[in-house]
Amino acid sequence: MANPKKRVSENVPGDFFVDSTCIDCDACRQIAPTVFGQAAETSCVHTQPASSVDRRNALQALLACPTGSIGCLGPDDRKAVMKDFPLVVEDPVFYCGYNSPKSYGGNSYFIRHLAGNWLIDAPKFVTPLVQQLEALGGIAHIFLTHRDDVADAERYAEHFGSRRIIHRDELSSQPGAEVVLDGDGPWELAPEFLAIFTPGHTRGHCVLLYDERFLFTGDHLDWDRDEQRLSASEAYCWYSWPEQADSMGRLAEYPFEWVLPGHGQRVRLPAAEMRQHMRRLVEAMQVGSRD
């Protein structure tokens, strides 16, 4: 529960606020950008909601916040908003919400599929979301991009009888995983589902490409809102930046339209434009790796 006595100074006056427990995970700024913005070391409320849509988005951000750092002093209908999750990105892909502090607020996603639904990385295990996922047909497969973002994957697997998929070099984070990827891939996990090995951020990091349109990128790749370009973070590369640059080069050969990251902004671009952005990023990363 957010504490109004700890609200950060950058909040504008009004019902909604962010307190100093915020870990700056960016989830609220993705969900409700008209309300939340960047402060010095946290998020903040830059504009109080002016419409019912803005208010609902702000309440969605409040529920998604991994640390409970968003508060609302006015009328609060968060119970009704709980049923909003998972939120449609583009059918059949959804954003789960309920980001977990165990993954530093990482995003997770859900794919509704006739041959069995998929969860990509894992959110908090909370009753409202579990009930909604049950209503959508449950979860057959859980794809885990890397060790940082597994969160409550084990609880979801136990509840739904799911098979967890992870690379062997990340297996210590989910030692009971049912499917272990070995080597350099790529691996066709099912028709339309391709796992691609992208070491760099961590040693066994992988991404998932669905339908040659949706790329679930973990912590490998995201969209820079300010620069309006694809981005990767050397500051948060825990294993090898040169290997991440090489991985990005291989990934650039695949077609996709959506970048759906664990951390950072998601984006959709026409496939040809996305490939141009990828090639520019690869060139910049390779130059940086040689310096």
Phi and psi at residue 40, in whole multiples of 5°? -65, -50
Q: Domain coordinates of the chain in residue numbers? A: 4-72, 84-290
User: Residue 197's beta-bridge partner residues?
Assistant: 206
pLDDT tens, position by position, 235-286: 999 999 999 999 999 999 999 999 999 999 999 999 999 999 999 999 999 8
* Residue carrying the six token digits 């998020």: 43
pLDDT tens, position by position, 8-65: 999 999 999 999 999 999 999 999 999 999 999 999 999 999 999 999 999 999 999 9
Inter-helix orientation angle 241-251/271-290, to 10°? 150
CB 228 within 8 A of CB 218: no
CATH architecture of 4-72: 2-Layer Sandwich (3.30)
Cα–Cα distance list, 163 to 170, 189, 245 (Å): 16, 12, 30
CB 278 within 8 A of CB 236: no
CB 45 within 8 A of CB 18: yes
Q: Structure pTM? A: 0.96
CATH node for 84-290: 3.60.15.10
* Residue 289 pLDDT exceeds 80: no
Answer yes or no: same fold for 4-72 and 84-290. Answer: no
